């Protein structure tokens, strides 16, 4: 099946700085890569996603890049704010894995005011 | 439109007891799934269903049963609870099985003593 690795597991940045979280996946047939944000005690919520026919997608301060050849994708948050503090999960979904979602182990981001 | 609804939110069980976590969605989603979330391990798929009458196992199915008699409901049954099943459980659903993101319920915090 699919194996998704996520790094780093914890990340602290100063407010206003950028944060980058990286994920790799093993199934070359995976074709959809969402990112979720989970605040303490809450459900994961989709913040951005990218499909395999696109190399980059941006939504205000959040962007995701995908390198299909290297099988990795990254989340970029610019001008970080304290409310960006949360756990972020990447996921991969692909045909060779029965179209199931496989998640990374999460990154706990802390934005220091 | 309530989205994905899970009950109960909190539950304490004794070892060996059985219980059912309820999940319902009102979005006419074909695909439904159950995940468990443990510290440092991300979200792991327990069971999933691609439509009424169809279920299949995920990464960690042992000790759990599911059924899908209707499109709306996807209950998760713990047959004989064990302390290792102490976790947060999330039900999720999506429109289809190819390339669509999933929406999570609010989570069920289960403690087995």
Of B41, B48, B104, the CB nearest to A44: B104
Residues of B in contact with A90 (CB under 8 A): none
Residue A97 has pLDDT above 70, yes or no: no
Maximal C-alpha separation, chain A: 43
CB within 8 A of B90, min separation 6: which ones? Answer: A43, A44, B6, B34, B35, B36, B37, B43, B104, B105, B107, B108
Q: What is the model's pLDDT at position B94?
A: 87
DSSP string across B45-99: EEEEEEETTEEEE-SS-TTEEE--SSSSB--EEESS--GGG-EEEEEEEES-SSS
Residues of B in contact with A103 (CB under 8 A): 35, 42-44
Residues A66, A52: Cα–Cα separation, whole Å: 8
Residue B95 has pLDDT above 70, yes or no: yes
In the numeric block, the tokens 């049963």 are attached to B65
Q: What is the model's pLDDT at position B61?
A: 96
Q: By three-state DSSP, how is residue A97 classified?
A: helix
**Cα atoms found within 13 Å of the Cα of residue B61, Cβ hemisphere only:** 12
Residue A23 has pLDDT above 70, yes or no: yes
Instruction: Return the residue of B nearest to A1 by Cα.
Output: B59
Q: What is the model's pLDDT at position A16?
A: 97
- Burial class from Cβ neighbours inside 10 Å (0-12, 13-18, 19+) for residue B33 reads buried
Residues A40, B71: Cα–Cα separation, whole Å: 30
Average pLDDT, chain B: 92
Residues belonging to chain A with any Cβ–Cβ distance to chain B shorter than 8 Å: 1, 6, 9, 31-32, 34, 42-46, 49, 51, 89, 91, 93, 95, 98-106
CA end-to-end distance (rounded Å), chain A: 41
Of A34, A93, A105, the CB nearest to B42: A105
CB within 8 A of B72, min separation 6: which ones? Answer: B24, B25, B26
CB within 8 A of B16, min separation 6: which ones? Answer: B80, B81
Residues of B in contact with A99 (CB under 8 A): 97-98
Residues of A in contact with B99 (CB under 8 A): 31-32, 51, 93
Structure tokens at B65: 């049963």
**Are the CB atoms for B90 and B43 separated by under 8 Å?**
yes
pLDDT in tens, A40-96: 999 999 999 998 888 999 999 999 999 999 999 999 999 999 999 999 999 998 776
Confidence of residue B53 (pLDDT cuts 50, 70, 90): very high
**Are the CB atoms for B9 and B109 separated by under 8 Å?**
yes
């Amino acid at each position: 099946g699919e194996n998704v690795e996520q790094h780093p597991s914890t990340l602290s940045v100063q407010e206003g700085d950028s944060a980058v979280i990286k994920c790799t996946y093993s199934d070359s047939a995976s074709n959809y890569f969402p990112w979720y944000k989970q605040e303490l005690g809450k459900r994961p919520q989709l913040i951005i996603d990218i499909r395999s026919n696109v190399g980059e997608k941006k939504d205000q301060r959040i962007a995701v890049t995908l390198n299909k050849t290297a099988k990795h994708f990254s989340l970029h948050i610019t001008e970080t704010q304290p409310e960006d503090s949360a756990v972020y999960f990447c996921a991969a979904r692909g045909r060779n894995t029965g179209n199931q979602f496989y998640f990374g182990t999460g990154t706990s981001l802390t934005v220091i005011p | 439109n309530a989205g994905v609804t899970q009950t109960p939110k909190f539950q304490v069980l004794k070892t060996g007891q059985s219980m059912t976590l309820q999940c319902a969605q009102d979005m006419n989603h074909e695909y439904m799934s159950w995940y468990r979330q443990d510290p440092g391990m991300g979200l792991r798929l327990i069971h999933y269903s691609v439509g009424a009458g169809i279920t299949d196992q995920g990464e960690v199915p042992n000790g759990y049963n599911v059924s899908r008699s209707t499109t709306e409901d996807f209950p998760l049954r713990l047959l004989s609870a064990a302390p290792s099943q102490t976790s947060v459980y999330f039900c999720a659903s999506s429109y289809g099985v190819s390339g669509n993101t999933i929406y999570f319920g609010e989570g069920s915090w289960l403690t087995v003593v």
